[in-house]
Amino acid sequence: MNPDSQKAFEAWMDDHLEPAASEFGRYWYPLTVPTFGRDEIAAAMDCLVNYRTSMGALTREFETQFARYIGCHDAVMVNSGSSADLLLAYNLVNPLNPRLEAGDEVLVPAVTWPTQIWSPLMAGLKVTLVDVDPETLNVDFDDMRRRLTPKTKCVFAVHLMGNPIDMKLMKQFCEEHGLLLIEDCCESLGSKYDGNHVGNFGLGGSFSFFFSHHMTTMEGGMVTCHNEDDADALRVLRAHGWSRGLQTPTTGSQSGSANPSVVDDRYRFVNWGFNLRPTELQAAFGLEQLKKLDGMNDRRRELAARFESYAESQSWFGSFETPVAGEASPFALPLLLKGDAVGSRTELLAHLEEAGVETRPVVTGNFARQPAASLLGPVDPTDYPGAEWVHEQGFYLGLSPMMDDLKIERLIRTLDEAYAAVVRPTQVRKVA
């Protein structure tokens, strides 16, 4: 526990801005509750009143502090976690330093957020879905071996719902088959494996600061990297292919050169690129949130542990398993139906929603069942039995560090009531 982080979080808890009662509509247990308050708002207002809005010194300070927190060489902030995925993928096919070629195959889990699929696909790579293990919600290593082809060149590892992958097995797999590794950590900020933060095991990792995530800049994301060449390449890709902001400056003319054939350094473009830049307001938010991150994550673990003790006593649902060397940073409360509740997901979710508990499927469910899966070519959803099980029997509930213990206790009672109302009457009818 970081004492400063805990102190900052407790101060915020004691003096937070109470959200309007109507903010969450009919939900007394929403997916998330705001974790920002006066400090973040004041930091953002300071940017506005001083007309510091475009990406600048605060962004760089946030990148530096975030890299220090994760334990990586450097970090590059972008406008969303999805943009972080996009930069990871395009850095693989960077024309100035290509690691992969068009048509090379990337393995991506079948249960994930779609930007982990679209990013390599948009970069000209072939995406092959891999089944997941319902016990962990993460990639099934046996299925990953089955899906290897001579064209397989990379694995996009996704640490889903805050649960770290067994990175010892993942690294062994990649090294055995000569594969590159990139990591999506958008739902797993604070998760570790063998004492190291996720995002440190491959070429780079993506993180998201969306409103409901472990920390927020409203929208925003970060890419971690492990050498200066990748850091500069990501900065160029982030902003139009522009050389501005590189930590290793390019050589060229200064402004006002008398030679019209020389490119002015202020507008020097050295590669292709996007415009994925964040704002100073987002960075200001992030710097304040980072102070509270350890405290917020510890509170998430505390609430999740209380829920887990309840889950272990139930015969009708279970939750995921974490690797022995892993430390989860819970993003939400995922549930997988089992026993006599199997097949009752639709009715249970309807009951919970009616009772004021907000629910969601486990992200995309089996992505092979999504309409857009046709963009990957022929895919048969039944080829992914683990993902099918998650699709049909899985859902998740919110987990916010701002939730109090009484709400978790009420949630537990509401789940008991849902089971009694939906599943038990069905069993009575079957017996009769």
**C-beta atoms surrounding 360 within 10 Å:** 13
**C-beta atoms surrounding 197 within 10 Å:** 23
Determine which one of 159, 213, 351, 391 is catalytic.
213
Long-range contacts (CB closer than 8 Å, 24 or more residues apart) made by 131-134: 131/383, 131/384, 131/385, 131/386, 131/387, 132/160, 132/384, 132/386, 132/387, 132/390, 133/386, 134/336, 134/386, 134/389, 134/390, 134/393, 134/394
Q: Which structure tokens are listed for 373?
A: 């899966």
CA distance 89 to 109: 15
H/E stretch holding 318 reads: strand 317-318
**Residue 188 near residue 303, CB atoms below 8 Å:** no
Q: CA dist 14 to 7, 29, 319, Å? A: 11, 21, 32
Note the residue count of the chain.
432
**Residue 183 near residue 204, CB atoms below 8 Å:** yes
**Residue 170 near residue 145, CB atoms below 8 Å:** no
Q: Which structure tokens are listed for 305?
A: 């542990």
Q: Which residue has the tokens 């972080």?
A: 84
Q: CA dist 366 to 181, 389, 432, Å? A: 22, 8, 35
**C-beta atoms surrounding 65 within 10 Å:** 16
Catalytic residue flag (residue 226): no
Q: In what order do the strands lie in the sheet with 394-397?
A: 317-318, 333-337, 394-397, 359-360
Catalytically annotated residues: 213
